[in-house]
Structure 1
Amino acid sequence: MSNYFTLFRLPENYDIDTNALAQTHRALIAQFHPDKFAAASAFEQKQALMMTATLNEAHRVLNDPLDRAAYLLQKQGINADAPEHTQFAPEFLIQQMEWRETLMDAKISQNIHELNQLAQTIAAEQKQLQQNLQAAFAQNQWEHAAEWVRQGRFLSKLAQEIHAAQE
């Protein structure tokens, strides 16, 4: 597997320049777009298609803070999303249950105001979590970073459910 950071000429850090990522992605996609290889050999066409798929996947991973963190942790030999990592602090689990109850109640009562408040709360939690990830990576605290990734997955899923309920 190619290094996604190298592919986009970015330093291998949690903090990246997402504008540079987007610009490089557009330039590389234009360079390797399969349409440019329409007159090329079948092998070259397949290579261009594979490169485009790799570029798109690399961009998706690096552009998402949680996926980028999980990718960096994999490079340290840590699979933050492994099924055996299911233990969470009791406080986090209790908070998750409270948020889920709030979501369920707001959905049942179709309380848009409560859904919006919950969405704001979760967005603030996600922002704080990203700051925690930044600090963990800056201090090479891989296990802490892995915990934040796992908690972030819960928050992302909850944010998606809130968004779906708002529609």
Structure 2
Amino acid sequence: MVNYFELFQLPVQLPVDMAMLTTHYQQLQKQFHPDNFASAKDNEKVSIMQKSAMINDGYQTLKNSISAAEYFLSLQGFDVATEQNIIHDPDFLMEQFTLREQLDDIESQDNPELLDDFHKEMIKRKNSVYNQLLHYIHEQDWQTALNLIYKIRYLTRLLEQIEKLQEKQFVL
């Protein structure tokens, strides 16, 4: 497995230095762009295309703070994608239930300002959980970090629902 941090010559840490990531990404894209190998043999072209795809995958992974955190945990030996996605925090689960009810109420009121305010509040919550995640990763408390990843996924899904409602209101 390719280590994306090494690929982009980044320290294996979070948050990712976005300026360094972008600089190294652009350098690698120039170096391994398939157009630069138009006269190469077919097997070399395939290899370059695979390398280019890997560069793009790595960039997409590391430029998103949440996917970068998931990837970081995978480097620590956790299979974040298939781990049991169960949150054992009844307070958090109850809060999610309440937030979904609140979203339903806002949707029924058809009030874009309320929806925008709710959206901003959820972004703040997600950012707060992300900051906690960074803390626990720094402390190498992997189990707590995993639980926070799962909480972020809940909040992300809620944010996606809010954004769909915002788009729907914008279209109407």
Q: How high is the TM-score relative to the length of structure 1?
A: 0.94
**Residue 170 (structure 2) aligns with:** none
CA contact (8 A) 1:61 1:71 kept: yes
* Structure 1: gaps (5+ residues): none
Judge conservation of contact 1:99–1:118 (CA < 8 Å) in 2. no
Who is 2:34 aligned against?
34
The 2-side partners of 1:81 and 1:72 are apart by 12
**Native 8 Å contact 1:32 1:51 kept in 2:** yes
Number of matched pairs: 167
Partner AA of 2:28 in structure 1: L
Equivalent residue runs for 1:58-97 within 5 Å: 58-97=58-97
Find the counterpart in structure 1 of residue 160 from structure 2: 160
Q: Give the C-alpha shift of residue 158 in structure 1.
A: 1.2
Q: Would you say the 8 A contact 2:70–2:149 is kept in 1?
A: yes
AA matched with 1:128: S
Please list the CA deviations of residues 106-152 of structure 1 after superposition, one character each: whole Å capped at 9, or x if unmatched.
Answer: 22332211211111111101111121011111111111111111111
- TM-score of the aligned structures, taking structure 2 as reference length: 0.91
Q: CA deviation at 1:83?
A: 5.0
* Amino acid of the structure 2 residue aligned with 1:94: M
Query: 1:110 is matched with which residue?
Result: 110
- 1:11-69 CA deviation, whole Å, 9 max, x = no partner? 11122211110111111111111111111111111111101110111111111122111
Aligned position for 2:126: 126
Hey, what's the Cα distance between the residues in 1 that align with 2:80 and 2:40?
41
Moved more, 132-141 or 101-110: 101-110
> Mean Cα displacement is larger for which, 76-85 or 146-155?
76-85
CA distance in 2, matches of 1:96, 1:126: 12
**Which whole-Å deviations, capped at 9, do the CAs of 1:59-82 have from their partners, x for residues lacking one?**
111111221111111122222343
Q: Pick which of 38-47 and 72-81 moved more.
A: 72-81
Distance of 2:83 and 2:20 partners within structure 1: 34
Question: Cα RMSD over matched residues?
Answer: 1.3
**Structure 2 unmatched ranges of 5 or more:** 168-172
Equivalent pair of 1:15/1:134 in contact (CA under 8 Å): yes
Contact 2:87 2:150 (C-alpha < 8 Å) held by counterparts: no
Once residues 56 and 35 of structure 2 are traced to their aligned partners in structure 1, the CA distance between those partners, rounded to angstroms, is 16
Secondary structure, aligned partner of 2:100: helix
- In the alignment, the residues of structure 2 paired with residue 17 and residue 83 of structure 1 have an alpha-carbon distance, to the nearest angstrom, of 27
Are 1:129 and 1:148, in contact at CA under 8 Å, matched by a contact in 2?
Answer: yes
Give, as a single letter, the amino acid of the residue that structure 1 aligns with 2:86. T
Higher relative contact order structure (alpha carbons within 8 Å, sequence separation ≥ 6) = 1
